[in-house]
Amino acid sequence: MNFIHAADLHLDAPLKGLARYEGAPHERIRQAGRVAFERLIEACLSRQVDFLLLAGDILDGSGRDFNTVLYLARHLQRLKAAGIEVFAVLGNHDAGHDLLQANPFSDNVHLFSSSRAQTHRMERLGVAIHGQSHEGRGEKRNLAAGYPAAIPGLFNIGLLHTALTGRAGHESYAPCTEQDLLMHGYHYWALGHIHQRELVRPHDPMILFPGTLQGRHIRESGAKGATLVEVAFEGDFRIQEQHLPMDQVRWHILEIDMERMETFNDLLDRVVDGMESLVNPEVLTVVRLLLKGRCAWQGQLVARGMELEQELRVQTMNTRSDVLWLERVINQTEPLRSDAPDPWGGGDRSMMSDPMTMVHQMAAELREDPVALNAVFERFKPLRSLLGGTAFHGMEHLPFHEDQWLNDVLRQAEWLLEERLRNPGGR
Ligand SMILES: [Mn+2]
């Protein structure tokens, strides 16, 4: 017996935080979720699996996204002719979805109720699948605790959308402990919600998050897909799991150590080599560059960030734009220590010491006073409406509420001012 376990499809979800610029592969990325989903359906057919498990957040919202639901229903129906059953629970994103609850699906699709745990038995395969959907967008109940005990003699699966006891970056919906799962005596727990693949427990029972089907932004980097599970009975159930990549667009973070980088051409060579090593002809590889370390041209990097990004983009993409894309360059370099030789050479630093001291003092004060720092950023918000849409393209999702981000921006501003003070004629 074999089956595929997928979760967190978030079909037709909007992109977040992808910088806007001419020629960026927005369309390809926008379509990637659907292409990945169709690869999932193809995988079910070509591997002739017995059933498909969908562990929640199949859709991204609970609105009346009619076309998305029709699309979903149409493709799940393709599995019916092959005799493949589909078992699904709803998660925090698609709970209470009007159209899903009207059940637009063919009769091979089984959607679990949110009011109580249910069990589907497949006698032909000797399988029992237990599951319960979320009721609303903030499910607080410990759903796992209410699941029934395992049915003796069958292979028992628990299908559940949960954060377990919590995972960084994910809300704690339908919280439960590993012990809550173990007590039922199941063989496999098909979980969803955590977008990073995780084998929580390798056996007795196996507990697994397959991860999201298609990464939608840089925080969902690496190969995304679903998990193929094969079960054999040899006196006891033997379970094997295998990650099957389904994604069409793959996000990567490439860190570049700027410590001993001497020229722009050195940087370019390093970036081209690094990006080439990530190329995979099956997917569009989207790379975010992270420049790190203490660097003699830190001030130049800050002052000319946009130009540098454009230049690297042109240079790295001239031949490979069908498989490779430079998403953004993030400069996290730090200046050399002040006792190091001045990399700009000469210049009367004493002339600048007063305004320079002021800049550093102001920055230090803001760093120690998060309320004051927040107030500074509050003042930028009206700019959005004043300047209109174009000036903020790609910046709609700046995390104004995250202290870490505010502090990063503050440091960039501090260094930019320092660079301008040192080198007032430059740009
Ligand atoms: Mn979720």
pLDDT tens digit at each of 427 positions of the chain: 999 999 999 998 877 666 566 667 777 888 899 999 999 999 999 999 999 999 999 998 856 688 999 999 999 999 999 999 999 999 999 888 877 777 889 999 999 999 999 999 999 999 999 999 999 888 999 999 999 999 999 999 999 999 999 887 788 899 999 999 999 999 999 999 999 999 999 999 999 999 999 998 888 999 999 999 999 998 899 999 999 999 999 999 999 999 988 888 888 889 989 998 999 988 999 999 999 998 888 888 888 877 888 888 888 776 677 788 888 888 888 887 654 444 444 444 444 457 777 788 788 888 888 777 877 777 777 666 666 555 555 555 667 767 777 888 888 888 888 888 877 766 5
- Expressed in angstroms and rounded, the spacing between residue 161 Cα and the centre of ligand 1 is 7
What's the CA gap between 257 and 315, in Å, rounded?
19
- Expressed in angstroms and rounded, the spacing between residue 192 Cα and the centre of ligand 1 is 7
Question: 353: burial class by Cβ within 10 Å (0-12, 13-18, 19+)?
Answer: exposed
Cα angle value 169/174/175 (rounded, 5°):
70
β-pair partners for 287: 252, 326
What's the CA gap between 64 and 72, in Å, rounded?
14
Question: Please, what is the angle between helix 26-46 and helix 66-77, to 10°?
Answer: 30
What integer pLDDT is reported at residue 392 of this predicted model? Answer: 56
- Expressed in angstroms and rounded, the spacing between residue 53 Cα and the centre of ligand 1 is 15
What integer pLDDT is reported at residue 347 of this predicted model? Answer: 47
What's the CA gap between 244 and 232, in Å, rounded?
20
- Expressed in angstroms and rounded, the spacing between residue 376 Cα and the centre of ligand 1 is 33
What's the CA gap between 40 and 36, in Å, rounded?
6
Q: Which residues contact 257 (CB under 8 A, 6 or more apart)?
A: 292, 293
**Per the omega criterion (within 30 degrees of 0), is the bond before 205 cis?**
yes
3-state DSSP assignment of residue 295: strand
- Expressed in angstroms and rounded, the spacing between residue 396 Cα and the centre of ligand 1 is 22
Predicted TM-score (pTM) of the model is 0.79
- Expressed in angstroms and rounded, the spacing between residue 57 Cα and the centre of ligand 1 is 5
CB 315 within 8 A of CB 270: no
Question: 396: burial class by Cβ within 10 Å (0-12, 13-18, 19+)?
Answer: exposed
Neighbours of ion ligand 1 (CB under 5 A): 57, 91-92, 193
What's the CA gap between 8 and 212, in Å, rounded?
5
- Expressed in angstroms and rounded, the spacing between residue 171 Cα and the centre of ligand 1 is 8
- Expressed in angstroms and rounded, the spacing between residue 276 Cα and the centre of ligand 1 is 34
- Expressed in angstroms and rounded, the spacing between residue 419 Cα and the centre of ligand 1 is 44
**Pick from 67, 70, 5: which is nearest to 246 by CA?**
5
**Beta carbons within 10 angstroms of residue 110's beta carbon:** 18
What integer pLDDT is reported at residue 340 of this predicted model? Answer: 45
What integer pLDDT is reported at residue 72 of this predicted model? Answer: 95
- Expressed in angstroms and rounded, the spacing between residue 105 Cα and the centre of ligand 1 is 22
- Expressed in angstroms and rounded, the spacing between residue 350 Cα and the centre of ligand 1 is 56
What integer pLDDT is reported at residue 179 of this predicted model? Answer: 94
- Expressed in angstroms and rounded, the spacing between residue 138 Cα and the centre of ligand 1 is 10
- Expressed in angstroms and rounded, the spacing between residue 176 Cα and the centre of ligand 1 is 14
- Expressed in angstroms and rounded, the spacing between residue 266 Cα and the centre of ligand 1 is 43
66's tokens: 């009619």
- Expressed in angstroms and rounded, the spacing between residue 214 Cα and the centre of ligand 1 is 14
